[in-house]
Amino acid sequence: MSGRVSAAVTGSLLRIVRGGCRAPTVDTSTAIGEVVLAGPVMTAAGTAGHADELAPWGDLAVLGAHVVKSLHRDPWPGNPPPRLAPADAGMLNSVGLTGPGVAAWVDRDLPRLRRRGVRTVVSIWGRTVEEYAGAAAGLPDEGIVAVEVNLSCPNLDGGRHLFAHDPDASARVVDAVRATVRLPVWAKLSPNTDRIVEVAGAVREAGASAVTLVNTLLGLAIDPATGRARLGAGTGGLSGPALRPVAVRAVHAVRAAHGPGLPVIGVGGVSRGVHAAELLAAGASAVQVGTATFVDPRAPWRVQRELVAWCARRGVRAVADLVGSAHA
């Protein structure tokens, strides 16, 4: 242990032990509206499976929460391969919302997560308000901490966002899901619009407890030798390091416009603790780690430990004290 930094979870407190001498304990708890999480780092939807696929690399119960890949009411096959293409500062994906459907997930995957004591957030999607409500209707109240309504998948109908640009349509979805479940509802929004601040306001009015910012940026990669798209579906969503400034800007703008009354979860290009600190300073109450997990499946746990170490080094006693500090 000597000379290394390590962290152990003790309730909502992470204690940093460095070279045998104890640095101040950092309170890692964070509130997303009515949901209080013991840690500020979650997995990002679509990057950590539907169940406990990441369990060989870490204890999912140590993370603030685990967000599972978006589920439709019905099973959904997804897009033709190739579904991933590397980009210079990240990657493009067009997975196309592959999933087993809510009923199979509740039957097969949720029990695995419950047995592990995971705080599970379920991402849901649909093509109509009714489909979202149908997905929500299949969810139990127990064993789930929140529903993340994915209003922003770039890989449906060739990137023709059905909801992400439209405050009213987004609000109708959130309203319908809220009327269907007793769970807190978070809304995941898109960077592929100049209306993200408006959409955030509309979903808040409709009863969203938080917004998750941001989903991937629409992109396209072409093989010039063949003239064909590198992804089977054509366009895809860009994620990874290139997305981080986009996410920081979106979080900052939404926090500036709506204040601390609308909790924000930041996601986009987080692979280090300092990246999480940046999103918290911009106004996020928690962060999600996504594409970094493809490089290092232990990334969510490492980012959480690095964030705590970052706070301890700077004398930040509570992660929550960082939230919105760039607005002070």
Residues near ligand RRO, by CB under 6 A: 46, 70, 93-97, 150, 153-155, 215-216, 237
- Least distance CB 281 / ligand RRO (angstroms): 25
Whole-number Å distance between alpha carbons of 199 and 167: 4
Whole-number Å distance between alpha carbons of 242 and 139: 35
- Least distance CB 324 / ligand RRO (angstroms): 26
| Terminal C-alpha separation, the chain | 37
Q: Select 214 or 262, whichever has its Cβ closest to ligand RRO.
A: 214
For residue 269, CA distances in Å to 43, 131, 260, 273 come to 12, 30, 23, 11
Burial environment of residue 10 by CB neighbours within 10 A (0 to 12, 13 to 18, 19 or more): exposed
Q: Where are the beta strands (DSSP E) in 165-283?
A: 185-189, 210-213, 217-219, 222-223, 228-229, 236-239, 264-267
Q: Select 150 or 170, whichever has its Cβ closest to ligand RRO.
A: 150
Instruction: Identify the residue whose tokens are 């969510």.
Output: 300
Whole-number Å distance between alpha carbons of 23 and 311: 10
* Cα angle value 154/169/120 (rounded, 5°): 60
Q: Select 83 or 305, whichever has its Cβ closest to ligand RRO.
A: 83
- Least distance CB 101 / ligand RRO (angstroms): 14
- Least distance CB 93 / ligand RRO (angstroms): 5
- Least distance CB 95 / ligand RRO (angstroms): 4
| β-bridge pairing 30-32 and 35-37 | antiparallel
Tell me which residue has its CB nearest to ligand RRO: 237
- Least distance CB 116 / ligand RRO (angstroms): 24
Q: Select 237 or 263, whichever has its Cβ closest to ligand RRO.
A: 237
Number of other residues whose CB lies within 10 A of the CB of residue 11: 9
Burial environment of residue 23 by CB neighbours within 10 A (0 to 12, 13 to 18, 19 or more): middle
Q: Select 215 or 304, whichever has its Cβ closest to ligand RRO.
A: 215
Q: Is 207 left (phi over 0), alpha (psi -120 to 50) or beta?
A: left
Contact criterion met (CB below 8 Å) for 250 and 220: no
Q: Select 79 or 120, whichever has its Cβ closest to ligand RRO.
A: 79
- Least distance CB 231 / ligand RRO (angstroms): 10
Count Cβ neighbours within 10 Å for each residue of 53-79 and write b for 16 or more, e otherwise: bbbeebebbbbbbbbbbbbbbbeeeeb
Whole-number Å distance between alpha carbons of 232 and 121: 29
Catalytic residues: 153
Whole-number Å distance between alpha carbons of 291 and 297: 10
Q: Select 120 or 239, whichever has its Cβ closest to ligand RRO.
A: 239
